[in-house]
Amino acid sequence: MSRLAKRRAGFTLLEITFAVTIFSVIGYALVDALRMGSNTQATIHDVSTTSRWVRHVHSLLSSELKVTDEDHLTTTVLADGNTQLDFMHRIEAAGVSTWGVHDVSLGPNPEDQNRADWTYRYTVDTLPAGGGAVTRRLLRQLVDEGGTVQRTKVLAVDLRRGDGASPGFAVSKAGDMWAIEITGVGRTSNQPGGGTNFHVKLRN
């Protein structure tokens, strides 16, 4: 067999090395494209989820704060710097105008739904998330006259600590308004996630 025929019968080491390099580059590019697609999908999911709870919390808390007053609202700074907010509404219980809560989850009729001396509470709790980390949740609670929590609803998860530039849940007086700020964690430790801030004027 001639030398030319032998060359045509197989590949040289240089050709094999070149082909492996090309396929490696293509493979890396495909893996990187898949990773970027996965990150994009996760980001879109995060934005969509955050948008939903931001709208819900903004609407709910705004409407509930508008019908309380300064004498029936208190704030407490929690251990991680977030805020606990407690307040009451003007209600009618047993035919008497008083302060407490009105919530349809408490029963089918006004006598069950109106509870004198109960309190609405917005607070942040923590759950273990593995590796020493925690997940912070924004809760809406109904607290009875003895201080026992009777109802709890989770409004948002993955909130930030309250002692940073973008707190998880902060409530403060701002002139004749009350300022509320809610922020979730970001995709990285240095990047705050989505959230909202707004002002509410209480009843006179």
101's CB contacts (< 8 A; 6+ apart) are 88, 89, 91, 114, 115, 118, 119, 120, 142
pLDDT lower than 70: segments of the chain: 1-11, 32-51, 187-192, 204
Using CB atoms within 10 Å of the CB of residue 179, give its burial: 0 to 12 exposed, 13 to 18 middle, 19+ buried: middle
pTM as predicted: 0.75
DSSP run (H or E) holding 137:
strand 133-143
Per-residue confidence (pLDDT) for residue 21, from 0 to 100: 80
Q: CA angle, 108 as apex, 105 and 109 as ends, to 5°?
A: 115
Per-residue pLDDT, 200? 95
In angstroms, the Cα distances linking 97 to 17, 114, 149 are: 87, 11, 23
Q: What is the pLDDT of residue 74?
A: 97
**Percent of the chain as helix, strand, coil, to the nearest 5:** 35, 40, 25
Distance CA 69, CA 103 (A): 18
Phi first, then psi: what are they for 29, rounded to 5°?
Answer: -65, -40
Three-class secondary structure of residue 202 per DSSP: coil
Sequence spans of domains, the chain? 46-200
For position 34, what pLDDT does the model report? Answer: 65
Question: Can you list the positions of beta strands (E) in 70-132?
Answer: 73-77, 83-87, 89-93, 96-102, 114-116, 119-130
